[in-house]
Amino acid sequence: MILAAGAPARPIVPNFGSGNRCVVENHTFCWSWVNAHWGDTLQPALSQHVELSAIAIGIGFAIAFTAGLLTYRHRWMSRPLEGFSALLYTIPSLALFQILVPFTGITTTTVEVALVAYTLVMLFPNIVAGLNSVPADALDVARAMGFTRRQTLFSVELPLALPTIVAGLRVAVVSTVSLATIAAFLLPKGLGYPIFLALKEPSPFRTEIYAAGALTVALALVADLLLVALRRFLVPWARRSAV
């Protein structure tokens, strides 16, 4: 069973099938490649990307919402938290990933912490702004009608704040989907990974770059549209769209 270097093995090298001209000559876009590799390259990357983004937005929203409510009740928190948010969001993502590595290693956690941080800084100001935009008259009416604090929150403040909150959510979702491509620098996950691989080729592989890029943009736009639909569902009385 042991083969010494002196005895050359004779493996059967199967015909892997040569790539068609389009792929070998690196034309602008090869649908054949996309079809052939949807299952093994593009679709897994897409699923990973959705997962990365969804977790970041979920956690980011939960934290931003809680912080937003707290700030709404305790106004003094607003300035420091907003200042901190503004500063956090100037940090280059590549740099932030590396700064987190000593704490959480080269893991999904590191990527998620960074993405959550960026989501937070985009959501938090909007949640606060949304809550602050509730007109005083509406609050007066609620008080006059004898609403409890909780009733006021759920029946008056949140509904009225919702358009602004959803606007912020749209920004955050689109940005997170876009940012998650950089995660591929650390982990072989998400739609950024095929792009990194394609860039490393002797001649950067156009089709893979354009396909992964198009999927990322499409994902962002679909998410945006879903949120618009959600807003219409939740706030049907708000006819004017605040982009």
Partner 1 sequence: MTLAALSLHDFLDAFRFIGSNWSLLLDKAAQQLELAGAALGIAIVVVLPLGLVLGHLRRGSTLAIAASIAGRALPVLVLIAAFLTVFGIGFVNNMVALAVLASGPILTNSYEGVARVEPRVVDAARASGMTGAGVLRQIELPLAIPLLATGVRIAAVTVVATAPIAAIAGGGGLGDIIVNQAGYGFDGVLGASLCAMALSLIAYGLLTALERAVTPAGLRRLAELEKGNRRREAVPVSVIT
Partner 2 sequence: MRFARMKTFAVGAVVLAGFAAGLTACGSSGSSTADKPKIVLGTKNFSEEYILGQLYKQALEAKGFTVSYKENIGSTEIITAALNSGKINLYPEYTGEIVQDVFHHASTPATEEATYQLGKKLEQQKGYTLFNRTPFSDTNAVVVTKATASKYKLKQIPDLSRISGLKLGGLPECATRFNCLIGLRKEYGLKVKFVPLAGISSYAALDAGTVQTAIGFSTDPVLGPNSKYVVLPDSKHLFGFQNIAPIVSQKLVKTYGSKLADTINSVSALLTTPAMIAMNKAVSVDKQSPQAVAQAFLKANGLL
Choose among 206, 218, 234: nearest CA to 27.
206
CA atoms within 13 A on the CB side of 110: 22
- Binding string, 78-107, against partner 2, x = CB under 8 A? -----------------------------x
In the list 78, 159, 210, 228, the residue contacting partner 2 (rule: CB under 8 A) is: 159
Burial class, 74, CB count within 10 angstroms (exposed 0-12 / middle 13-18 / buried 19+): exposed
Angle, alpha carbons 101-105-111 (nearest 5°): 70
Instruction: Provide the minimum distance between the beta carbon of 79 and partner 2 in the complex, in angstroms, as a whole number.
Output: 25
Q: According to the binding rule CB under 8 A, does residue 106 interact with partner 1?
A: no
Q: According to the binding rule CB under 8 A, does residue 138 interact with partner 2?
A: no
Q: According to the binding rule CB under 8 A, does residue 108 interact with partner 2?
A: yes
Tokens 């700064």 belong to residue: 99
Q: According to the binding rule CB under 8 A, does residue 101 interact with partner 1?
A: yes
Tokens 């937005």 belong to residue: 57
- CB proximity list for 172: less than 8 A, separation 6 or greater: 57, 60, 61, 119, 122, 123
* Amino acid symbol at 6: G
Question: Is there a contact between 116 and 130 (Cβ–Cβ < 8 Å)?
Answer: no
Instruction: Provide the minimum distance between the beta carbon of 213 and partner 1 in the complex, in angstroms, as a whole number.
Output: 4
DSSP 8-state assignment for residue 26? T
Choose among 15, 3, 48, 74: nearest CA to 184.
48
In the list 118, 142, 153, 227, the residue contacting partner 1 (rule: CB under 8 A) is: 118
- Binding string, 160-189, against partner 2, x = CB under 8 A? --x-------------------------x-
Which residues form the interface with partner 2 (CB under 8 A)? 1-3, 5, 8-14, 16-19, 23-24, 33, 37, 40-41, 54-55, 58-59, 61-62, 65-66, 107-109, 112, 154-155, 158-159, 162, 188, 196, 199-205, 207-208, 234, 236
Which residues form the interface with partner 1 (CB under 8 A)? 86-87, 89-96, 98-99, 101-103, 118, 122, 125-126, 129, 132-133, 164, 167-168, 171, 174-175, 177-179, 181-182, 184-185, 192, 195-196, 198-199, 204, 206, 209-210, 212-213, 216-217, 220-221, 224, 242-243
